[in-house]
Amino acid sequence: MDDRSNTIAGWVLAGGIVALGLSIVTGMYFHPEAPEKEGFAVVAEAAGEAGGAAAVPIATLLATADIAKGEAVFKKCAACHTINQGGANGIGPNLWASMGKPHGHVPGFAYSDALKSVPGNWDWEGMDKWLANPKKYAPGTKMTFAGLGNPEERANLILYLNAQGSNLPLPTPPAAEAPAADAAAADAAAADAATGEAGAAPATDAAAAAAAPAAAK
């Protein structure tokens, strides 16, 4: 009796193994279709991102950026960079408090002339462009990193970088700026209406000044 149930159990097990094997083989057979679809989706997504990169300013993305996600992204940089205060240089320089500093901010690190000759300091837009495509930002740079294609990922990372010793105030997103400027212009106009014609010209100027940066962006 026991022998028989063992035999039955054995066959049930064998059947299961055969079924598993079949499903693996079937999976292998039908698999080639899947990557093709995924590849297509990735291409479509990348195209959307390329379009979105120009459309959404870094200031807007920073406002909703996630610092914990940025810290996770930094793992891609950690092969070459430390970011703790007083951390050692690796293949790349220590990055503590690099935001807001001049290009090539670590004394004694052998930067490329390409990076050192980029004028100005590391600001939000500059860092965003650098991390999107280092070779485009500083042609001839020694940083052999392809770049991060995802604008949100860059914003998360830059928020994290800024929190490591720099702590610059976040830039005001242009979308939030516009209504404030409009309100100021409206206030000025109301004041002008009360004081008479004399103030009309400055009000127009204020409106033009408010419109100019928006048009430039």
**Contact call for residue 112 and ligand HEC (CB under 6 A):** yes
For residues 175 to 204, the per-residue mask of contacts with ligand HEC, x marking binding by CB under 6 A and - elsewhere, is: ------------------------------
- Give the dihedral sign, CA 158/159/161/162: positive
Site for ligand HEC in 138-167 (CB under 6 A): 138, 141-145, 148, 157
For residues 77 to 106, the per-residue mask of contacts with ligand HEC, x marking binding by CB under 6 A and - elsewhere, is: x-xxx---------xxx-x--x----xxxx
- Nearest approach, Cβ of 14 to ligand HEC (angstroms)? 51
Q: What is the Cα–Cα distance from 170 to 17, expressed in whole angstroms?
A: 59
Are 171 and 163 spatial neighbours (Cβ–Cβ below 8 Å)? Answer: no
Q: What are phi and psi of 4, to 5 degrees?
A: -65, -45
Are 83 and 95 spatial neighbours (Cβ–Cβ below 8 Å)? Answer: yes
At 97, the amino acid letter reads A
Q: What is the Cα–Cα distance from 103 to 199, expressed in whole angstroms?
A: 45
- Nearest approach, Cβ of 86 to ligand HEC (angstroms)? 15
Interface ranges with ligand HEC (CB under 6 A) = 76-77, 79-81, 91-93, 95, 98, 103-106, 111-112, 114-115, 131, 138, 141-145, 148, 157
